Structure 1
Amino acid sequence: MLRRWMLPILFVAVGIAAAVRQVTKGLPVAAVTLLLLFLLAAVLLSPLVFPRSVSAAEALRRSEADGRPIVYWRPGCRYCLRLRMRLGRHAYRLHWVDIWSDPDGAAAVRAATGGDETVPTVVVAGKPHVNPAPQWVRAQLP
């Protein structure tokens, strides 16, 4: 659980340190600006911007029932964030599995990618696609 939040926590800590340094230099506006930038980066790299994750087993069950793709992702992955942002409101129409919180999801990704945990891995109709284009993923939605 903590692993998912390590990068955002690091960004918040660095942001606070940078802001304190700017305040000690007598630059409060710069301090607030830096802190806000680091907080924004922390939010974007956190699990908060992704739809709620489900377990790999639940995602498989739901995908079989409704035909929607499964996205295996992990917090802090810039390619996962790119996919999430480019999908926009359509992101909630997919089943998201956080491989850092679900060992079965990580195993499914390793099986699909030849042993590594390359994400995002999108499974459509049982066939895995590693780091597909967001436009392609959107076209696969029922």
Structure 2
Amino acid sequence: MLRRWGPPGLLLILGAVAVIAGRPVWYLVPGVLLALLVSPLVFPRSMPAAEAQRRSAQDGRAIVYWRPGCPFCLRLRATLGGTARRAYWVDIWQDPEGAAAVRAVADGNETVPTVILAGSPHVNPDPRWLRSRLRAA
């Protein structure tokens, strides 16, 4: 849990320290906004890898493996916009099976985002490419 909320919490604490040190209250605003951006709240609800794989086998949706605080995951999520809901999201920090699935296709590394689309793995794909694929599906 600390890994998921550590970076956002640190940003909030830094903003609070600035305010306590005598800075204007608006110094807290960037910290709050950045904390929200890197928090798990901006991502669709995660599910276990086994459930995502089962559902994907049935309906052909993509599976996106991600982790909180990852700037590449955040870029992917921001680019996908509303189409992000057309994929299943697996947080590899919550699900060891998801982390193992990523390591299996990323040369033993936990490189995210990793997307499984139509049975093919794509490690850190171009967000615009994935958005077009999700819209077409």
Q: TM-score, normalised by structure 2?
A: 0.95
User: Would you say 1:7 and 2:7 are equivalent positions?
Assistant: yes
Structure with the greater alpha carbon radius of gyration: 1
Q: Which runs of 4+ in 1 moved over 2 A?
A: none
Gaps in structure 2 of 5+ consecutive residues: none
Shift, 1:59, TM fit: 0.6
Aligned to 1:66: 59
Q: Residue 26 of structure 2 corresponds to which residue in structure 1?
A: 33
Q: Does 1:129 align with 2:122?
A: yes
Asked whether 1:90 is paired with 2:83, we answer yes
Deviation at 1:62, TM superposition (A): 1.1
Q: Distance in 1 between matches of 2:126 and 2:63?
A: 15
TM-score after normalising by structure 1? 0.91
| CA distance in structure 2 between the aligned counterparts of 1:38 and 1:71, rounded to whole angstroms | 27
CA RMSD of aligned residues (A): 0.9
* Rounded Cα–Cα distance in structure 1 between residues aligned with 2:4 and 2:49: 17
Percent of aligned pairs sharing the same letter = 60
Q: Who is 1:27 aligned against?
A: none
1:57 maps to which residue?
A: 50
Counterpart Cα distance in 2 of 1:89 and 1:22: 40
What runs of 5+ residues in structure 1 fail to find an aligned partner? 24-30
Which residue in 1 is equivalent to 2:17? 17
Structure 1 residues 132-141 or 55-64, which shifts more? 132-141
Contact 2:8 2:38 in 1 (8 A): yes
